């Protein structure tokens, strides 16, 4: 079975979507890591009984967090690491050992509105400020350059005249839920094809 680790920082809507879509079907969610105390961690543990680990960014650097995730994922023989609303920057040896096996969902049509500091409402507010006609989300591989890894897929959302950052975020989140599942399915299929 295809083995997944999920990294979270917030409420965990994408994480829940992944668990409900794959757990016990075509994949197994082995563990959930968080870089701060958050609802997602509680939900993974309390609702789904998935092992969780808090790697608090108050106590650890980004590299220390990445190294601990790396160590655990090697031990568990994880096939895919999914950043589902994870706000710490991943770096170090994990990027080599899990090359093309770490994916992120970003709330814009990369390369637009990517890079350090561009996450969550920062992205949506900038899109509104710049009067863009379209926005959306991108699932991409994670590399040492933030938000610059190879794009797996994108979903577009029309920016309406009366949109605020909040209303745009809600519509994009719906597409994020669709995109992350499609991307994981693509990677599961690739994994199966490679094993044949």
* pLDDT value for 35: 97
Active site residues: 106
CA distances from 148 to 21, 45, 121, 143, 151 (A): 27, 32, 20, 7, 8
pLDDT over threshold 90, residue 4: yes
The whole model's pTM is what? Answer: 0.96
**What are the pLDDT digits (tens) for 65-118?**
999 999 999 999 999 999 999 999 999 999 999 999 999 999 999 999 999 899
Residue 195 has a pLDDT of 79
Average pLDDT of span 136-153: 97
pLDDT mean over 111-130: 95
HSE-up of residue 122 (Cα within 13 Å, Cβ side):
11
- Collapsed DSSP state (helix, strand, coil) of residue 116: coil
User: What is the three-class DSSP state of 5?
Assistant: strand
17-73 pLDDT tens trace? 999 999 989 999 999 999 999 999 999 999 999 999 999 999 999 999 999 999 999
pLDDT of residue 48: 95
Strand pairing class (80-83; 102-106):
parallel
User: Above 90 in pLDDT, residue 194?
Assistant: no
- Mean pLDDT over each residue of the chain, to the nearest integer: 96
Phi, psi at 85, each rounded to 5°: 75, 40
Nearest to 64 by CA among 87, 94, 41, 85: 94
Taking the CA of residue 41 as centre, how many other CA atoms within 13 Å lie in the half-sphere pointing to its CB? 16
């Amino acid at each position: 079975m295809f083995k997944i680790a999920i990294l979270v920082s917030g409420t965990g809507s994408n994480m829940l979507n992944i668990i409900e879509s794959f757990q016990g079907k075509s994949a197994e969610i082995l563990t959930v890591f968080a870089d701060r105390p958050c609802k997602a961690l509680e939900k993974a543990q309390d609702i789904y009984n998935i092992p969780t680990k808090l790697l608090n960014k108050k106590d650890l650097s980004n590299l220390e967090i990445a190294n601990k995730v790396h160590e655990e994922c090697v031990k568990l023989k994880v096939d895919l690491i999914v950043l589902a609303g994870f706000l710490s920057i991943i770096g170090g040896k994990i990027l080599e050992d899990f090359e093309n096996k770490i994916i992120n969902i970003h709330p814009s049509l990369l390369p637009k509105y990517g890079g350090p500091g561009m996450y969550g409402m920062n992205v949506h507010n900038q899109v509104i400020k710049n009067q863009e006609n379209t926005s959306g989300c991108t699932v991409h591989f994670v590399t040492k350059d933030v938000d610059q890894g190879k794009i797996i897929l994108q979903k577009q959302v029309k920016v309406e005249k009366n949109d605020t950052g909040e209303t745009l975020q809600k519509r994009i989140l719906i597409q994020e839920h669709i995109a992350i599942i499609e991307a994981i399915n693509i990677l599961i299929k690739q994994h199966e094809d490679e094993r044949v």
